[in-house]
């Protein structure tokens, strides 16, 4: 996608993020000469009307909002099968990345960021839009301290007759509200609950509810009280603690009536009023950071042993359990294979089918079983009734015409005729795919390798082939000096495939020259890219893991890379970690000085 121009004006520069539904790229608007972010729907989903409708809904929802704390939408387009949204480009981390780097956040940061999120959500709610997926991943932080809410992909108007799709999970399980878990009608108070979870994570660095599966996490949202955040971070003000616990109330009526009311309480913590001036992002030294206490967390079950009246009211009934079956096979993580996801999808589809569709599904399954049985029977029958075998003749030294006649005399066929480098007379057979003397069933095919009349010619290509297949192909062409090298890695090719060869395809070579094939090996090494001078958002795509270190660098723009360890061009193991130093005004937490190379 990099280098492509969408709509005749948006030049794709680099990938900055993405998920299962879409990928986000940094691009340049050549017409207005400015950077933009472009969200592109995965092409595999472009024929799925539901995903296209959801993608279009995101554009419509975001475009209907105009607020300094909402990522602006500039344009929407479609080019062939590519659907895309052009948005405001924010130079800075997500709130999730910021929490991972600096948690627990300071009171000033919590109040500033939370107040801005409240402003954005209040604007959406006043325009009758519920976000439904409020989480730190969907909150972008500019280096000027401005927070912006994005990703209205599952937003829905509050006037819609229903807000839940049957058989589907809308929102992120760690952040969604009890009513989302139940599959009930969702209001603006669901966003308030999700914002409470985000506040909890900013204050403690941990999630209030976690588990091994999506359904176990959803059950905790429904039944269990969150651990008091002051137990995990005793330094937080009592007002912030009370705001979080009120927002996390199981019953929507016990939460704030509006997000504006929640904002008033947040602003009153520091008596900041309208919170017009946002503080810049913190990159403070370690000595400025309060010590984070470590506690033995008991998965949210260490509270009172007997449920109080509010908890009893939220006990899960049969209807709610039926709705929770949507989450039965949803993983709590993303480490699932395509096969596992397909099986889960099929199970969910069958579970939510009406009776007549289940009957059709059963009939379809029966037909498939019958077809497989017939196919298997024919295969077995063929094994026991195969024709007589014949001996493969020696074809070397014959012309192509003579070799074909010799094969026909044995009821065999000449299949592929391939020219190879050889000093033998031109068009004479120098090799065959099945060795002479072997037994084969009548009607089988034999490949012929015919001399080109010279040991010199143009090199063939082997990229993308597995090493054994590439070696076999080269030997068939007459090469004998073949070397296999396991160094380097290219993410465009699979494990064990050839990603580079020497000489290159098309080069003039002799059959006695050394040919080196470079095999993709995840345990091998890869060159460190040259990121020096690039912005932090440009990192990625190399397959390497990175550790970001913020360090003062006079003369370098904030957010740019000025050093790496290992240095650019050096080799590092594919699963290794590259330390990347980012220019900032102060040292980051746990920062170490850059190398002097």
Residue among 186, 223, 248, 196 nearest 313 (CA): 223
Residues within the annotated binding site for ATP?
Answer: 39
Backbone angles phi, psi at 57, to 5 degrees: -65, -40
pLDDT at 262: 97
566 preceded by a cis bond (ω within 30 of 0)? yes
Scan for tokens 């096979």, then name that residue. 329
* Non-local CB neighbours of 309 within 8 Å, separated by 6+ positions: none
Query: Which residues form the catalytic set?
Result: 133
User: Cα–chain-centroid distance for residue 176?
Assistant: 21
Domains 389-451 and 456-519 share a fold: yes
Flag the least confident range among 82-96, 349-363, 534-548, 560-574.
349-363
Q: Right CATH number for 95-290+312-351 from 3.30.70.270, 2.102.10.10, 3.40.920.10, 1.10.510.10?
A: 1.10.510.10
pLDDT at 206: 94
Provide mean pLDDT across the span 531-559. Answer: 83
Task: Kindly give the interhelix angle for 107-126 and 259-268, rounded to the nearest 10 degrees.
Answer: 160
Provide mean pLDDT across the span 460-480. Answer: 83
Please give the biggest Cα pair distance in the chain: 99
Angle at 545 between CA 542 and CA 549, to 5 degrees: 115
- With bands split at pLDDT 50, 70 and 90, how would you rate the model's confidence at 383? low
Which residues share a beta bridge with 29?
10, 34
pTM above 0.85, yes or no: no
Task: Please give the residue that has the higher pLDDT: either 503 or 576.
Answer: 503
Task: Please give the residue that has the higher pLDDT: either 199 or 526.
Answer: 199
Per-residue pLDDT at 212 exceeds 90: no
> Following DSSP, what letter does each residue of 31-86 receive, concatenated?
TTTEEEEEEEE-GGGTT-HHHHHHHHHHHHHHHT---TTB--EEEEEEETTEEEEE
- With bands split at pLDDT 50, 70 and 90, how would you rate the model's confidence at 320? low
Q: What is the mean pLDDT of the chain?
A: 78
92 close to 147: Cβ distance less than 8 angstroms: no
Residues within the annotated binding site?
Answer: 39
Q: 324: helix, coil or strand? A: helix
> Following DSSP, what letter does each residue of 7-36 receive, concatenated?
TTTEEEEEEEEE-SSEEEEEEEETTTTEEE
Residue among 163, 128, 130 nearest 149 (CA): 130
Per-residue pLDDT at 353 exceeds 80: no
Give percent of the chain with pLDDT exceeding 70.
79
- With bands split at pLDDT 50, 70 and 90, how would you rate the model's confidence at 123? very high
CATH number of 5-88: 3.30.200.20
Tell me the CA end-to-end span of the chain in Å, nearest whole number.
34
Residue among 430, 469, 425, 424 nearest 449 (CA): 430
Which residues share a beta bridge with 584?
552
Per-residue pLDDT at 296 exceeds 60: no
How is domain 525-584 classified at the CATH fold level? Answer: Trypsin Inhibitor V; Chain A (3.30.10)
Per-residue pLDDT at 464 exceeds 60: yes
CB atoms within 10 A of CB 184: 18
Which residues share a beta bridge with 257?
none
How many angstroms separate the CA atoms of 17 and 92, rounded? Answer: 13
Domain regions of the chain by residue span? 5-88, 95-290+312-351, 355-382, 389-451, 456-519, 525-584
How many angstroms separate the CA atoms of 339 and 206, rounded? Answer: 32
Tokens of 59: 């554009």
pLDDT at 297: 34
How many angstroms separate the CA atoms of 301 and 597, rounded? Answer: 52
Provide mean pLDDT across the span 443-471. Answer: 83
pLDDT digits (tens, 9 = 90+) for 14-51: 988 776 677 899 999 999 999 999 988 877 777 777 77
pLDDT at 372: 87
Q: Right CATH number for 456-519 from 3.40.50.970, 3.40.50.720, 3.30.230.10, 3.30.10.20?
A: 3.30.10.20
pLDDT at 27: 95
How many angstroms separate the CA atoms of 503 and 488, rounded? Answer: 17
Q: Which CATH architecture has domain 389-451?
A: 2-Layer Sandwich (3.30)
């Amino acid at each position: 996608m990099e280098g492509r121009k969408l709509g005749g004006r948006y030049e794709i520069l680099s990938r900055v993020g993405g998920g299962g539904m879409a990928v986000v790229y940094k691009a340049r608007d050549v017409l207005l000469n400015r950077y933009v972010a472009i969200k592109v729907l995965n092409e595999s989903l472009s024929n799925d009307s539901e995903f296209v409708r959801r993608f279009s809904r995101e554009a419509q929802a975001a475009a209907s909002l105009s607020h300094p704390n909402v990522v602006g939408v500039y344009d929407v387009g479609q080019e062939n099968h590519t659907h895309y949204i052009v948005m405001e480009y924010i130079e800075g981390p997500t709130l999730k990345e910021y929490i991972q780097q600096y948690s627990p956040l300071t009171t000033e940061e919590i109040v500033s960021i939370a107040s801005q999120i409240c402003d954005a959500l209040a604007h959406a709610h006043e325009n009758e839009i519920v976000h439904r997926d409020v989480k730190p991943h969907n909150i972008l932080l500019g280096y000027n301290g401005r927070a912006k809410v994005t990703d209205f992909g599952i937003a829905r108007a509050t006037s819609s007759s229903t807000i839940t799709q049957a058989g589907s999970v809308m929102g992120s399980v760690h952040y969604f509200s009890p009513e989302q878990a139940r599959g009930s009608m969702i209001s603006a108070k669901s966003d308030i609950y999700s914002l409470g979870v985000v506040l909890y994570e900013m204050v403690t660095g941990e999630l209030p509810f976690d588990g091994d599966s999506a359904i176990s996490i959803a059950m905790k949202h429904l039944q269990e009280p969150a651990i008091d955040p002051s137990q995990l971070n005793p330094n937080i003000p009592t007002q912030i603690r009370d705001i979080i616990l009120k927002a996390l109330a199981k019953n929507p009526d016990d939460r704030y009536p509006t997000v504006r009311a929640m904002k008033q309480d947040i602003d009153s913590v520091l008596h900041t009023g309208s919170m017009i001036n946002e503080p810049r992002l913190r990159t403070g030294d370690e000595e400025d950071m309060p010590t984070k206490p470590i506690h033995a967390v008991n998965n949210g079950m260490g509270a009172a042993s007997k449920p109080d009246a509010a908890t009893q009211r939220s006990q899960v009934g049969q209807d709610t359990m039926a709705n929770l079956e949507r989450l039965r096979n949803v993983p709590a993580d993303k480490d699932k294979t395509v096969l596992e996801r397909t099986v889960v999808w099929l199970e969910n589809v069958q579970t939510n089918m009406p009776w007549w569709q289940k009957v059709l599904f059963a009939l379809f399954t029966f037909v498939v079983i019958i077809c497989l049985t017939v196919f298997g029977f024919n295969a077995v029958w063929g094994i026991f009734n195969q024709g007589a075998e014949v001996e493969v003749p020696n074809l070397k030294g014959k012309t192509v015409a003579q070799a074909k006649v010799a094969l026909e005399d044995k009821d065999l066929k000449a299949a592929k005729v391939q020219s190879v480098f050889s000093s033998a007379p031109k068009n004479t057979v120098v090799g065959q795919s099945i060795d002479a003397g072997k037994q084969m069933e009548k009607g089988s095919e034999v490949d012929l390798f015919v001399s080109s009349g010279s040991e010199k010619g143009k090199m063939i290509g082997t990229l993308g082939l597995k090493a054994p297949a590439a070696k076999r192909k080269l030997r068939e062409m007459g090469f004998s000096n073949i070397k296999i090298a396991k160094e380097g890695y290219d993410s465009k090719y699979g494990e064990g495939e050839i990603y580079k060869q020497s000489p290159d395809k098309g080069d003039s070579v002799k059959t006695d020259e050394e040919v080196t094939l470079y095999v993709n090996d995840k345990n091998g090494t890869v060159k460190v890219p040259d990121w020096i001078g690039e912005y932090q958002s440009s990192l990625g795509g190399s397959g390497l893991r990175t550790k970001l270190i913020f360090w003062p660098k006079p003369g370098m723009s904030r957010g740019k890379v000025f050093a790496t360890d290992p240095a650019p061009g050096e080799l590092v193991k594919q699963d290794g970690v590259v330390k990347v130093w980012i220019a900032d005004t102060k040292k980051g937490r746990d920062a170490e000085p850059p190398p002097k190379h």
